[in-house]
Each structure stands twice: as structure tokens, then as C-alpha cells.
Amino acid sequence: MAPRRKRMRRIFNIPTIKGFKPYGNSCSQKGKRELISLLYEEYESLRLCDYEKLTHAQACRLMQISRPTFTRIYASAREKIATAFVEGKQMIIEGGKVYFDSEWYRCSDCSCHFNHPDKEAIIENCPLCHSTNFHKVESES
């Protein structure tokens, strides 16, 4: 029997960083160059529970997934972060089966991310540096 299809998870905020890199003498040892990939939905689960202080029940409703699924995503995120810290591995935040709550854009000049909740209005420039050099951030599929 084939596994169930993975449902899209709703993401409200794009991570402000792309990942973390350890530094120090022990980080240059052989075997420590392996990357750990934290998925967008794992990042979002950490943000909602640990940063926004929501309960699992509140967070799973926001992400439009079941509570057991949310708990698995959250546990996976914490395990990956612990592995990266203990073993001194680089962590990147990318991928996953997600969609954004509103349209998000990234400015090529100042690298800021900003969203576009008003669908009728046209975005003409970056709200931070007022550059017209920006592009839409596409969700993963």
C-alpha cells in the first residue's frame, strides 16, 4: 500500500536567516562537514511554539495540520537542532511541502523579506530601502 500524500503546510513567516554555521577548532575535523537540513515547516513549528509561545493545539490549527502531525514535525526540528549543536554540523533552512499565507518578496539590494497581504495593491518598491529590485519568493512543492 502506498503512503498517504503529504499535505501542504501553511507558513506565516519566512526565516530571516538561511541557516547556522559552527565555528572553532573542532569544526574543521573530518566528518563534521555534513549539512543538516531544517525544513520550513520544522522552522515554523519551532517559531510558533518556542518563540510565539503557542500550544501545540493552537499551532497546528494555524498551520492547518493535525496535532499528531504537528508534534512529529516539532520533534524532528528539535532533534535536528540538537544534532547540529552536539556534533558541530552546519544547519540550513530550506525545502518542505509548504505554502505561504501571503505573497512574500525578497529585495535583491538589502536582502530583506517582506510580505504582500493586500492582494489588490501593487508593490512598487522595497519598504526598507525603496529599491525596485525585488522578486517574489516561491513556496516549495
DSSP string covering 13-67? ---SSSEE---SGGGGSTT---EEEEPHHHHHHHIIIIIS---HHHHHHHHTS-H
* Confidence label for 141 from pLDDT (cuts 50, 70 and 90): very low
Edge-to-edge strand order for the sheet containing 19-20? Answer: 19-20, 90-93, 35-38
pLDDT at 26 over 70: no
CA dihedral 126, 131, 136, 137 (to 10 degrees): -80
Note the pLDDT tens digit of each residue in 83-128: 999 998 999 998 877 766 667 777 888 877 677 666 667 778 887 7
pTM of the model: 0.68
